[in-house]
Structure 1
Amino acid sequence: MGDTEFVIEPGRQDIVMIRGFDAPRDVVFQVVTDPELVPRWWGPRFLTTRVDRMEVRPGGRWRYVNVDSRGREYFFSGVYHAVVAPERIVRTWEFEGTPGEVALETVTLEAVDGGTRYVAQSVHPSVEARDAIVRADGPRGGRESMDRLAEVLAAGS
Structure 2
Amino acid sequence: MHLPTEDTDRDLVLNRVLNAPRDKIYACWTQPDLLKQWFAPKPWTTPKVQLDLRPGGGNVITMADEAGTEYPNAGQYLEIVPNERLVFTDAFTGDWAPSAKPFFTAFILLEDAGEGKTKYTAIARHWTVEDAENHKKMGFHAGWGMCADQLEVLAASL
Q: The TM-score by the shorter chain falls in which range?
A: 0.7 to 0.9
Preserved contact between residue 60 and residue 73 of structure 2 (Cα < 8 Å):
yes
Which residue of 118, 121, 124 maps to 1:122?
A: 124
Shift of 1:99: 4.5
Call closer, same or farther: CA 1:20–1:81 in 2, change over 3 Å.
same
Counterpart position of 1:4: none
Structure that is richer in strand per residue: 1
Query: Identity of aligned pairs, percent?
Result: 28
Which residue of 22, 25, 30 maps to 1:28?
A: 25
Instruction: Give a deviation string over 1:43-90, Cα, whole Å, max 9, x none.
Output: 110211023411111111111111112221112121001101111111
Call closer, same or farther: CA 1:136–1:99 in 2, change over 3 Å.
farther
Shift of 1:140: 2.0
Alpha-carbon separation, structure 2, partners of 1:70 and 1:50? 13
Preserved contact between residue 36 and residue 47 of structure 2 (Cα < 8 Å):
yes
Counterpart position of 1:57: 54
Q: Which runs of 5+ in 2 are unaligned?
A: 1-5, 92-98
Call closer, same or farther: CA 1:141–1:8 in 2, change over 3 Å.
farther
Which residue of 140, 149, 152 maps to 2:151?
A: 149
RMSD, aligned CA: 2.0
Q: Counterpart amino acid of 1:51?
A: K
Preserved contact between residue 103 and residue 131 of structure 2 (Cα < 8 Å):
no
Alpha-carbon separation, structure 1, partners of 2:155 and 2:49? 23
Counterpart position of 1:111: 112
Counterpart position of 1:3: none
Counterpart position of 1:84: 81
Q: TM-score, normalised by structure 2?
A: 0.84
Instruction: Give a deviation string over 1:87-125, Cα, whole Å, max 9, x none.
Output: 11111037xxx9413311111100111211111111101
Call closer, same or farther: CA 1:82–1:8 in 2, change over 3 Å.
closer
Q: Counterpart amino acid of 1:134?
A: K
Counterpart position of 2:137: 135
Shift of 1:8: 9.8
Q: Secondary structure at the match of 1:113?
A: coil
Q: Secondary structure at the match of 1:104?
A: strand
Alpha-carbon separation, structure 2, partners of 1:85 and 1:57? 11
Q: TM-score, normalised by structure 1?
A: 0.84
Call closer, same or farther: CA 1:140–1:93 in 2, change over 3 Å.
farther
Alpha-carbon separation, structure 2, partners of 1:56 and 1:107? 14
Instruction: Give a deviation string over 1:25-48, Cα, whole Å, max 9, x none.
Output: 222111211111001110110211
